[in-house]
Amino acid sequence: MSFLPKRFASTFTMKAIPSKSHHHFQLPSSSFPSGFLLGGIHAGVKKKAGVPDLAVILSTSEHPTSAAACFTRNAFKAAPVLVSDEILSKNGGYARAVVVNSGCANAITGKQGMDDAWAMVKATDALLSPSKSASKFEHETLVMSTGVIGQNLPISKILAGIESQSPRNEKTRVLGSDFKAWERAAQAFMTTDTFPKLRSRVFTIGGVEYRLAGMDKGAGMIHPNMGPAGTSFFSAPKQLHATLLGCIMTDAAVSPRSLQSALTYAVDRSFNSISVDGDMSTNDSIYVLANGAASNGKIIDEETDTEGYEIFKKELTDFAADLAKLVVRDGEGATKFVTVTVKGAPSYRDAHNIASRISTSALVKTALYGEDANWGRILAATGSVPLQPTSANAVSPTIDPTKVSVTFVPSDGTSALLFSSMVNLRR
């Protein structure tokens, strides 16, 4: 029932958000990396029956599976982040499984949250087949959680769901390697997402064909700032229920140090370069598993195979960017997709900081939403960013307003609109 006078009702009408489902489509099963079993099930974390809320990803390769991660720099790191960080550090960059739940973030939940995260790790470890490398590590599972902050997991339901995927339970086990299995796993990542985010690609290094596939999620609370284990950046917790999670798998063999190096580079140029609402989550995590199932004994390493490593790093970066773009397109309430490109900055860091300031400016966002080419707001945001000195004793560079221009490039291929700050300097 509306309590507004009828003549004012149209003033409050919201613009309909167009469907984004076309960003999800079937991928050929042959494009997925070999040596992985995965799937998604409804464990009961989410209230709606049948909606996937638990994903299990297992590496079945006979080769050692390297693992790398970039975690949130939020000071209030969630229990899954802390537990996975510890496992990767102890194992020296090896892990063979990932378990993910949606519907509850298990963040800021104290000792109980840590106990629950470890319980998920141990239950998933039990699903792994014995291997020669297994005896080296106490735990081989990384864990992710996403959903409401400050609530405890329904851990008994989650553990029962993980157990249902044991080879002993043939009637309930749904793990597979085809498109449907990957799709169900991607669906289990979702919170307020409107479509599952899944992509795959095939690439070649030294005449050997490899595959990359991965999934991510995120619709709100999206302004990632992730780095390798041990990095931090303070940000107060927000009582929201979304985050950025991503998991990428490849059947290439990559040394742990090189996998981490490539992922850090890729994340800086993809996930750390997107923003929806400017809020950094307590749970943001991106994992990569490289199981070597297609390697024929060839190990990609940045020191012993520079050419192969550079190809892999580029493929991973491009792939991560594709996944990151899907997160932006599915932003809560988002109707525009905008790429901010900064040219001529003294350093990559300066360019990144300027692009970030522009993309998070409320005034810029309202201009873009209203389809108003108010380029002055972009210049104002640009000019508010202090440039960084190139060395400890160097003088910080400054922006020269007479050499700055703003260009709007329509995505439909029509002519670009060029504006220059010089117009403000003319008499």
Going by DSSP bridges, is the β-strand pair 54-59/97-104 parallel, antiparallel, or unpaired? antiparallel
Packing angle, helices 375-383 and 348-360, rounded to 10: 130
253 is written with which tokens? 């063999």
With CA atoms as reference, report the closest residue to 400 among 378, 373, 379, 374: 379
Q: Is 217 known to sit in a ligand binding site?
A: yes
Q: Supply the pLDDT for residue 74.
A: 83
| Alpha-carbon dihedral 353, 357, 358, 360, rounded to 10 degrees | 130
Q: Is 141 known to sit in a ligand binding site?
A: no
State the catalytic residue, choosing from 109, 243, 282, 317. 243
Q: Residue-wise pLDDT tens for the chain (427 aa)?
A: 334 344 434 444 445 677 888 989 899 999 999 999 999 999 999 999 999 999 999 999 999 999 999 998 888 899 999 999 999 999 999 999 999 999 999 999 999 999 999 999 999 999 998 865 556 899 999 999 999 899 999 999 999 999 999 999 999 999 999 999 999 999 999 998 899 999 999 999 999 999 999 999 976 555 556 667 655 443 333 333 346 899 999 999 999 999 999 999 999 999 888 876 555 678 889 999 999 999 988 999 999 999 999 999 999 999 999 999 998 888 776 778 888 899 999 988 899 889 888 888 888 888 888 888 788 899 999 999 889 887 776 788 888 888 899 988 887 777 777 776 554 444 3
Q: Is 180 known to sit in a ligand binding site?
A: no
What is the rounded CA–CA span in Å between residue 106 and residue 150?
Answer: 7
Beta bridge partners of 250: 212, 290
With CA atoms as reference, report the closest residue to 217 among 279, 273, 289, 271: 271
What is the sign of the dihedral through the CA atoms of 130, 134, 138 and 142?
negative
Q: Is 62 known to sit in a ligand binding site?
A: no
Q: Supply the pLDDT for residue 314.
A: 98
Determine whether 11 is an active site residue.
no
142 is written with which tokens? 């990384």
162 is written with which tokens? 């993980």
Kindly report the pTM of this predicted structure. Answer: 0.82
Q: Supply the pLDDT for residue 238.
A: 34
Determine the straight-line distance between the first and last CA of the chain, rounded to whole angstroms: 57
Ramachandran sector of residue 296 (left: φ over 0; alpha: ψ -120 to 50; beta: rest): left
What is the rounded CA–CA span in Å between residue 186 and residue 27?
Answer: 13
